[in-house]
Structure 1
Amino acid sequence: MSDQPVTERRNFYGRVHGKTLRASQKGYLAEDLGKVRLQGVSVEDNPGRVPLNTAGLFGGRPLWLEVGFGGGEHLVHMAARYQEVGIIGCEPFVNGVAMLLGKIRAAGVENLAIHPGDVRDLFDVLPAASVAKCFLNYPDPWPKARHHRRRFVTQGYLGALARVMAPGAEFRVATDIPDYVRQTLEEVPGAGFDLVAQAGAGGAWEDWLSTRYEQKALREGRSPHYLTFRRKG
């Protein structure tokens, strides 16, 4: 029997479909998704919520996680740069998944897996203290005040993230929304993380790859902000 909590029915508010997919993107989904899709994550595939064997997933390599990988450019960049680790990317937006699959083909990286769905389902089945680094890049800002509870940087998400992150693990957040910075600084420490560093434009991490969302923000006059946290021991 699994010692994981029973998963309650959850509302999901983000988009899962966008513009009509190109023929090539439909091909990526049909031909490539099955090769990199993480098995045993959904309730349908794993109703008992049995923890994943993450130690065997990437041959014992350290496990990293990107929550909401957008178009996938940062995820592929990190997988190519750090081939000594394995990275799981989580993204429910099918257009983003198709874009990522095209980038995986072009780059030829093999040290990553995808969960094309709600990250909370993934948190349910990740073993405790199994993640060594996590990235949250330009998350949905949910700008209206009544929707702030839907942001990732709330205790419902952060508590689950803290459970799966190892002591000393790094959590990076990049956003161009000042109020998202405020909420991140207020909420993340309360979930068991220490703030290590924060920086504005020009202060990104040494291995950072500017995403299309960041480039859009810069074109529209919004400044990036980079926050680094570390999971308490």
Structure 2
Amino acid sequence: MIETLTGAAQPRRNFYGRRHGKALRPTQRRHLEELLPRLAVPGVTPGGAVDPAALFPGAREIWLEIGFGGGEHLAATAAAHPDIGLLGCEPFVNGVAMTLRQIELGGAVGNVRLHVGDARDLVDLLPDGALGRVYLLYPDPWPKARHRDRRFTSPENLTALARVMAPGAELRLATDIADYVEHSLASVAQVPAFERGAAPIDAPWPGWHRTRYEAKALTAGRRPNYLIFVRR
């Protein structure tokens, strides 16, 4: 069980699996010890508050990437859009370590802030209409039927996202799992705050930067799917 912001006990709601992988290299440990404290989102605790405008003074918009994995897309997007404040959430420590190195090499330290943990803990603390875009790229598909409720694109999670997204903001989803596409479309149909965008499902949006998970999917012969949902 976990304690909510109101103090009431609720079932743990993790939509991810393990948090640690193989042993970290010395350079990765250094990035976690030295760079992560500079980039960590403050206030993501029960009773806390997160003000993205204070984290990114003067930013044109605030974007969020949920589950940034190895950080390829996050770091490239931040470097390509220095006028955007980019929040990233990832519970897998090894991925965070890889991402920190890419952020440092790409020179995007100034416009990135990271939360090492459940994205919903951060979303719960964001003000209404704070986000201009959300990325959900190759999320854990949770293929077993008994685990479907752990998929991030549930009506509950989409409703929470809708609150913190500005009118016209886009939720961009990429996945190589056809069943995840069907599940997401069915969930969006239950959330009036979203409508499906007109972008084709078989072509990435402009500025797309391929992730390691997409490369693995293509090598395995699976077809990527790209969906855009617009906040009404």
Q: TM-score, normalised by structure 2?
A: 0.92
- Deviations along 1:50-70, one digit per CA (max 9) or x if unpaired, are x32222210131110000000
Partner of 1:91: 90
The answer to whether structure 1 residue 33 and structure 2 residue 36 are counterparts is yes
- The separation in 2 between residues aligned to 1:83 and 1:63, in whole angstroms, is 11
The answer to whether structure 1 residue 64 and structure 2 residue 67 are counterparts is no
Q: CA deviation at 1:19?
A: 1.2
- Which residue of the other structure, out of 10, 14, 19, is the alignment partner of 1:16? 19
Q: Is the 8 A contact 1:198 1:225 kept in 2?
A: no
- Deviations along 1:6-40, one digit per CA (max 9) or x if unpaired, are 26444225221111111111111011100000000
- The separation in 2 between residues aligned to 1:10 and 1:119, in whole angstroms, is 16
Partner of 1:133: 133
Letter paired with 1:139: P
Q: CA deviation at 1:146?
A: 1.0
Letter paired with 1:63: I
- The separation in 2 between residues aligned to 1:35 and 1:132, in whole angstroms, is 24
- The separation in 2 between residues aligned to 1:173 and 1:75, in whole angstroms, is 14
- The separation in 2 between residues aligned to 1:204 and 1:196, in whole angstroms, is 13
RMSD: 1.5
Partner of 1:219: 219
User: Which ranges of structure 2 fall in alignment gaps of 5 or more residues?
Assistant: none
Partner of 1:171: 171
Letter paired with 1:224: P
User: Which ranges of structure 1 fall in alignment gaps of 5 or more residues?
Assistant: none
Q: TM-score, normalised by structure 1?
A: 0.91
- Deviations along 1:170-199, one digit per CA (max 9) or x if unpaired, are 110000000000011111242221101353
Partner of 2:205: 205
Letter paired with 2:52: T
- The separation in 2 between residues aligned to 1:163 and 1:82, in whole angstroms, is 24
Q: CA deviation at 1:76?
A: 0.7
Q: Percent identity?
A: 50
- The separation in 2 between residues aligned to 1:228 and 1:148, in whole angstroms, is 21
- The separation in 1 between residues aligned to 2:135 and 2:189, in whole angstroms, is 16
Q: CA deviation at 1:167?
A: 1.0
Letter paired with 2:55: L
Q: Superposition pairs for residues 185-200 of structure 1, below 5 Å?
A: 185-191=185-191, 192-200=193-201
Letter paired with 1:134: V
Partner of 1:80: 79
Q: Which stretch shifts more, 170-179 or 151-160?
A: 151-160
- The separation in 1 between residues aligned to 2:68 and 2:141, in whole angstroms, is 15
